Chain A
Amino acid sequence: MQNLLGDKKAIFLFVFPTFLVFTVIIILPIFFSGYYSLLEWDGFSNGKFIGLGNYVDLFVNNTDGFTKGVKNSIVLAIVSVGIQLPISLLLALILARGVKFEKLYRTVYFIPVIISTVVIGQLWMKIYHPNYGMLNIILNKIGLGFLANEWIGNTQTALGAVFVALLWQYVGYHMLLMYASAKSISTEIYEAAKIDGANEPTLALKITIPLMKPILRVCVVFSVIGSFKAFDLIYVLTNGGPLHATEVPTTIMYTSIFAKYQYGYGSAMAIFIIVECLVATVIIQRMFGKDPVN
C-alpha cells in the first residue's frame, strides 16, 4: 500500500492536469493583475509605471471611496456569519433530525441558489419598489404604513435592503453543506445520549455542532470570502448606488476597469481583494483551530 500510495508517476498524473489548468487560468491572470496594478493604464495605450501609486490612491487618498466599500463588505461578512449562518444551521439541524417532508424542504430551501441572479435581482427590485413594491404594500396593510420606504432608493436603507436579499439568497447554500454534515453523524451517538436524558437542544449543542466543526469552518470561510467578493446581486439591484451607498470593493473595481478606463487602478483593487480574502481565511482557520480529523 505504501508503495502504491507513494507512486510518483501516479501523483503526477493525478495532480498535474489540475495544477496546469488552475495555474494558467487563475494564477497567471493574478500575476498580470499584479503587474497592471503598478501602472497608470487605461487598458489600451502604453501604461505608465507608477509603483504603488494606485495603492496609495486607494487607501491614503481614498479617491473613489474605496475604504467605504471595504467597510461595507466587512459589515456584510459580519452579518453573514452572525445572521445567515445561524439560520442555515438551525434549518440544517431541524431537517437532519427528521421532520415530515424533510426531503421536500431540503430541496426547496436550496432553490434560490440555483436561480439566475438576474431573476433574483428583478424580484427584489419589485419587492422593494416604493410605489407598488410588496414590502410597502404589506406594511400599509398591517398598519405600519409609516415605515414604508424607498428601500433601495434611499441612502439610509439601501445597504440593509441589499444585504437582506444577499443573505436570503445563500441561506440554502450553507444549509445544504451543514445538512450533509449533520446527516452523516451516526444515529447511535444520539441514541446513547437520549438514554442519558438529553433533550434536542442539548443534543445539538453538545454533540451535533461540535462534530460539525469542520463544515462550520468551511461555511464561515465561504461566507466571509463570498462577502468580500460579492458582486452579481449588488450589481443588478443597485450597482453601488444610490449615491454610492451600497458600493463594495468589487463594484468599485468593475466600474473602474470597465466604465472608467482605469485598468491599473482597478487591478490594484483586485489584488487587494485577494490579499484581504487570504488574511481573513488564515484568521478564521486559526480561530477554529486544527482539523480534528487527520
Chain B
Amino acid sequence: MKRITKMMVSTLLVASLAVGLSACGNSSGTNSSSGTNNGTAPKAEKVTLSFWGISTAEPERSELEKIIKEWNDNNPDIQIEYSGTENNAYKTKIKTAIAAGEAPDIMYSWTGGFAQPFVEAGKILSLDEYLTDETKDQMLPGALDNITYDGKVYGITYGQMAGALYVNTELFDQYQVKIPTTFSELMTAVDTFNQNGVKPMITGMKDLWPGMWIYDMIALRESGSQLSLDALNGKASFTDPAFVNAADKIQQLVNAGAFGNGVLGMTQDEAEAEFNQGKVAMLFGGNWMASKMEADSSMVKGKIKAVRFPASEDGKGDPTEYVGGGSDAMLVSADTKYKEQAVKAATYLAKAQAEQGYLSGINLPTWKYDSLDQSQINPLAKEIMDNIITGAAGSVPVWDIYLNGADAKTHQDLVAEVFANQITPEQFGAQMQDKVNGN
C-alpha cells in the first residue's frame, strides 16, 4: 500500500516539476512569432503581432476585420492576428493574461484606472520614444491625457466618450416643456411630465454606472473640472460643498419622482429600450447610446436631440464642461519582441478605429476627423461632437474610469446609496473622502 502512495507522490513530483510551480515565472514574453526561429535572420523577418480586443459584435467586428485586413495586405512583413473577446469576459481575460506574463503584443484597454495597475507593474510599454510629433499632431488636444501616467504616455486612444442629455422633442413639444438649461428648469420639466403621466427620466441603476454618470455630471457642474480632478487626485476633499450639493441634487431628482418609483431594479439595456419606445422624456447617458436611438428599429428615430446637461445656478462649474474624455486605447506589451512594429501597428489601429467608430456613431474620435465625409456621420453623434464637445471649457472622465478598481467600485456603490436615499449627501461626501482619499 505504501508503495502505491510512494509511486504516486514521486511521479507527481516529477510532473509538478514539468508543470513548474512558480506563479510569477516570466515566460519569453510573447508566443506570437510564427515559424521564424532563426533569430539571427537579417531584415525582412516576417513578424506576427497578436492583438486582443473587444470588437465581437456587429458592426464593430466586421469593421475591425476590414481595418486589419487592409493593414495585413499593405504590410506583408508585419501581420496582425486578432482575437476578440466579449466586453465583460475580456476584463477577466486580459487581467489574467497580464498577471501571468502572457499579454498579447497589442491589446485593447480602457484608460485611467483600468490600465493603471498594468502600467505600474511595468507590463505596458511606455510610448514616449516611439510617438512622433507628426502622429500626435493628427490627434485632438488632450487625446492622450487619460492614458498618461507620471507624465509618460502608455497608450494611444481612439475613442472618447461624452455624456449627453437626450431629450425626446416630441414629448417636450406635446406638453410644451422647455428643454432645460438650468437645474431648476430640469426640476420644472420633471414635475410637468410627472403631472402628465410621462416618465421624466430613466436610468439603469442596476448596472450602477448609469446613475454614477448622472452624479459625476452634476458634480462637475457644481465643482468645475479643476476641483473634480483635484478631489480625484486626492488634492481636494470630497467633503467640499460642491460634491455634497451634487448628491443632494440627485436626491432632489429622485424624491421628485424623476426616475419613477424604483430606480435600482433596471438594467441600462432595459432603460434604453424604454426610452427608445418613446415612453420617457429624458435620458442622460453616453454618446454611444445615440446609435441605437437612430437605428431603424427605434421608435424615436429623428425625434431626439442631444444637449448639454443643465447648469447649476449655484455651481462653480462652467456649463460647457462635460464628462467623458479619451476612454478606449491601444496598449503595447512591455514584453513584446517587436516594439517598433507593434507601436506602428497600434497607431494605425487606433487611427483607423477612431474614424470608423465616428462614422458608425459608436465612438467619438480622439483623432482629427476633418478628412471624413461629414454626411456619413451618425447625425446624433455629430450633434454631440458639435454641440457638446466642440467649444467646451474642459472635461473630466467619468470617475469609475479615472479611479482604480476598488475606488471605482466604492464610488459606484456610494452613488447607488444616494439614489436609494440610504445615506445623506453629507455622509456621501464623508465616505467618499474616507474610503477613496483616506488611504
Contacts and interface: CB of A to CB of B under 8 A. Distances in A.
A12 to B, nearest CB: 6
A288 interface: no
Interface in A134-154: 150-154
Contact of B264 (A24, A28, A131, A242): A242
Q: Interface size class for chain B? A: 35 or more
A129 B265 CA distance: 7
B265 A130 contact: yes
A32 B95 CA distance: 17
A261 B120 contact: no
B406 A260 contact: yes
A287 B208 CA distance: 44
A191 to B, nearest CB: 45
Contacts of A154: 262, 264-265
A105 interface: no
B406 A28 contact: no
Contact of A12 (B4, B92, B118, B422): B4
Contacts of B16: 24, 28
A67 interface: no
Q: Which of A20, A44, A151 has the most CB of B within 10 A?
A: A44
Given A24-B16, A32-B23, A43-B99, A150 B420 contact: no
| Interface of B, helix, strand, loop or mixed by DSSP | helix
A238 B208 CA distance: 11
Interface in A120-177: 125, 128-131, 150-155
Interface stretch (B7-15, B216-224, B305-313, B341-349): B7-15
B265 A20 contact: no
A259 interface: yes
A262 to B, nearest CB: 6
Contacts of B7: 12, 16
Contacts of B230: none
Contacts of B416: 241-243
A11 B409 CA distance: 52
Interface string B398-419: 0000001110110001001100
Nearest to B417: A243
A8 B21 CA distance: 29
A131 B408 CA distance: 30
Contacts of B417: 243
B99 A260 contact: no
Contacts of A8: 3-4
A206 B102 CA distance: 60
B117 interface: yes
Interface string B93-123: 0010011000000000000000001101101
Contacts of B422: 243
A263 B408 CA distance: 16
A241 B208 CA distance: 9
B95 A43 contact: yes
A278 B92 CA distance: 28
A183 interface: no
B409 A260 contact: yes
Contact of B8 (A19, A44, A125, A153): A19
A15 interface: yes
A281 interface: no
Contacts of A35: 23
B266 interface: yes
B368 interface: no
A20 B9 CA distance: 9
A131 B199 CA distance: 12
A262 B98 CA distance: 15
Interface string B255-283: 00000011111110010001000000000
B265 A244 contact: no
B117 A45 contact: yes
Contact of A258 (B91, B117, B120, B121): B91
Contacts of A244: 413
A127 B46 CA distance: 55
Contacts of B404: 261
A152 B207 CA distance: 13
B409 A153 contact: no
A43 B417 CA distance: 29
A32 B23 CA distance: 8
Contacts of B267: 125
B44 interface: no
A117 interface: no
Interface string A190-208: 0000000000000000000
A11 B8 CA distance: 11
Interface of A: 8, 11-12, 15-16, 19-20, 23-24, 28, 32, 35-36, 42-45, 125, 128-131, 150-155, 238, 241-244, 255, 258-263
**CB-CB nearest 10 A-B residue pairs:** A153-B265, A44-B121, A242-B264, A150-B262, A260-B406, A261-B405, A45-B121, A150-B265, A260-B405, A43-B99
23 contacts: A8-B3, A12-B8, A15-B8, A16-B8, A20-B12, A24-B19, A28-B19, A43-B99, A43-B117, A44-B117, A44-B118, A131-B274, A152-B206, A153-B206, A153-B263, A238-B206, A241-B206, A241-B264, A242-B264, A243-B417, A261-B95, A261-B406, A262-B405
